[in-house]
Amino acid sequence: GNSVTQMEGPVTLSEEAFLTINCTYTATGYPSLFWYVQYPGEGLQLLLKATKADDKGSNKGFEATYRKETTSFHLEKGSVQVSDSAVYFCARSSGGYQKVTFGTGTKLQVIP
């Protein structure tokens, strides 16, 4: 079936460090790919998305590129802030109104 695998957390970084959170997906069909973020005590917010190969999603300094050849959608940010501390979920859907399948989530803690 469809699945998403992302790196285990927690990830602890100092402020202004470079962030990478790895994510790979099953290549069934032509999925849309997403990163959702969950801040402490809050719900899921869409951070960015990409709908086809080589698309780059970006938002709030975060980026992820849809790589079909490696079935990956790694999340990156050049300089993290304390306010980026949250749980990040990689996700996929088969497009349209189909259900979203989530990875296990990666907790990021940024320390001053």
Partner 1 sequence: EPEVTQTPSHQVTQMGQEVILRCVPISNHLYFYWYRQILGQKVEFLVSFYNNEISEKSEIFDDQFSVERPDGSNFTLKIRSTKLEDSAMYFCASNGGTDTQYFGPGTRLTVL
How many residues would you count in the chain?
112
Interface with partner 1, residue 42, by CB under 8 A = yes
- Report d(CA 34, CA 66) in Å as an integer: 10
Q: Does 28 bind partner 1 (CB under 8 A)?
A: no
Residue 99 binding partner 1, by CB under 8 A = yes
- Count of residues interacting with partner 1 (CB under 8 A): 22
Q: Which is nearer to partner 1, 34 or 77 (CB)?
A: 34
Instruction: Give the shortest CB-112-to-partner 1 separation in angstroms.
Output: 26
Residue 60 contacts partner 1 per CB under 8 A: no
Q: Which stretch binds partner 1 (CB under 8 A): 21-29, 40-48, 63-71, 75-83?
A: 40-48
β-strand partners of 25: 4
Strands 11-14 and 106-111: parallel
Contacts with 99 (C-beta within 8 Å, 6 or more apart), sequence order: 93
CA dihedral sign, ordered 47, 48, 49, 54? negative
- Binding footprint of partner 1 on the chain (CB under 8 A): 32, 34, 36, 42-46, 49, 51, 89, 93, 95-97, 99-105
